[in-house]
Amino acid sequence: EMAEKEGYDHFMIKEINEQATSVKNTLTQKDNIQKIIDDLDDISRICFVACGTSYHASLTGKYLLESLAGIPTDVILASEFKYSAKTLDENTLVIFISQSGETADSLKALDVANETSKTLGIVNVAGSSITRRAQYVIQTQAGPEIGVAATKTYVSQLTAVYLFAALMAKDDRLLNDLDKVPDFINEVLEDVESIKAMSQRYNYAKDFFYLGRGYSYPTALEGALKLKEISYIHGEGYAAGELKHGPLALIDEGIPVVVVIPPGDSHKKTMSNLEEVKSRGARVLAFGAADDEELAEKAPEVFKINPEVSEIIAPLVYIVPLQLLSYYITIEKGFDPDKPRNLAKCVTVE
């Protein structure tokens, strides 16, 4: 096992560090994805079905496909699929995102979707059940992932979804921007010391909130999931605009609030949410652009990311420091991030 970790303390941190490569390798699937799209005419609706981290990649897919390609898109948890699958038809494409390709709830839903609709699997494990049963398959190129908490497979799933949406929308600018993502990820990884320092300041916390809007909302959800999976700290991801509909009641002195605030359309509104929690005593940890002066002024703690990472590609990059934060908080607390209690890498029971 030591040899497989290649000098890293845990598989999780090794896999976090492999993410630029995972993205680069998955970008090679562009031509395959174009072939699938050419074959799929008459798609009027898309429906993603997934669990866990794969569900968060799916949510990002909804924002992309609706705003870039104008295709109405739903996202359904695989375990809830049977309660809402009645409106699928032959012009619906049902996309199953799964690292393992063996999650029981997803497989069950795939069998149902195959009866009425076109089905596409976005799967990491070659030869797995979903790859055998879906009508079309995109293989993510992350390589084997051992850590229970998904990291490099998440950015690979996102890469596949971005390629699919950009090709559907014939958005050459986005395709071009995707090629820069591996370098942006490596820049974040080079700044690991800032995250280690941050983790020492916040490992006392019992609860964390994660806020984001638009493309950054699924990032907030995934950041919170990473925290609760391995550190056993309660992490809650929220759409920043929903704050005043409940969670604001829980914000008081000292509670850490992670704010995902890349440059773009949502920036201004997220900033006002940041100020809202700050004025109630929250300790704000902001993740934003290195040249964001307003953020530097308003947030006591900012992890700085390349300003070229706009909000549309931010999900591929901004998740990396959040994974690192969860990892180092878990190390501080003395838990094993590779083997969280009660969780399995693949859930084969419904």
Q: For binding to ligand G6P (CB under 6 A), which residues are involved? A: 51-54, 98-100, 103, 106, 148-150, 343, 345-347
Helix H or strand E encompassing 77:
strand 73-77
Query: Between 52 and 256, whose beta carbon lies closer to ligand G6P?
Result: 52
Nearer to ligand G6P, 40 or 346 (CB): 346
- Over its C-alpha atoms, the chain yields an Rg (Å, rounded) of 19
Q: Tokens standing for 135?
A: 């009508």
How is residue 96 written in tokens? 């199953």
Among candidates 207, 208, 217, which has minimal Cα distance to 241?
217
Judged by CB, which is closer to ligand G6P: 150, or 258? 150
Q: Given the complex with ligand G6P, which of 112 and 347 has the nearer CB atom?
A: 347
226 is known as an active-site residue: no
- Smallest gap from residue 347 Cβ to ligand G6P (A): 5
Name residues whose C-beta falls within 8 Å of residue 18's C-beta, 6 or more positions apart in sequence.
142, 143, 152
Closest listed residue to residue 312, CA positions, set 123, 151, 165: 165
Q: Tell me the closest approach of the beta carbon of residue 150 to ligand G6P, in angstroms.
A: 4
- Least Cβ distance, residue 113 to ligand G6P (angstroms): 15
Concatenated DSSP letters of 242-268: GGGGTGGGG--TT-EEEEEE-SSTTHH
Least gap, CB of 330 to ligand G6P (angstroms): 15
Between vectors from CA 102 to CA 237 and to CA 93, what angle results, nearest 5°? 75
Angle at 267 between CA 265 and CA 269, to 5 degrees: 100
> Least separation, in Å, of the C-beta of 99 and ligand G6P?
4
Nearest residue to 326 via CA among 191, 150, 158, 124: 150
- Within 117-233, where are the H helices? 129-133, 152-168, 172-178, 181-190, 192-202, 216-231
Whether the CB-CB separation of 260 and 216 falls below 8 Å is answered with: yes
State which residue, 219 or 270, has the beta carbon closest to ligand G6P.
219
Residue whose Cβ sits closest to ligand G6P: 52
- Indicate the residue among 150 and 181 with the shorter CB distance to ligand G6P: 150
Nearest-approach distance from CB 124 to ligand G6P, in angstroms: 8
The rounded distance, in Å, linking the Cα atoms of 117 and 227 is 36
Q: Which is nearer to ligand G6P, 123 or 295 (CB)?
A: 123
The vertex-314 CA angle with 299 and 226, nearest 5°, equals 80
Q: Which residue has 């997934």 as its token pair?
A: 50
Q: How far apart are CA 99 and CA 207, in angstroms?
A: 28
**Distance of alpha carbon 220 from alpha carbon 169, whole angstroms:** 26
Q: In which residue are the tokens 């029971």 written?
A: 349
**Cβ 98 to ligand G6P, closest distance in Å?**
3
- Catalytic residue numbers read 345
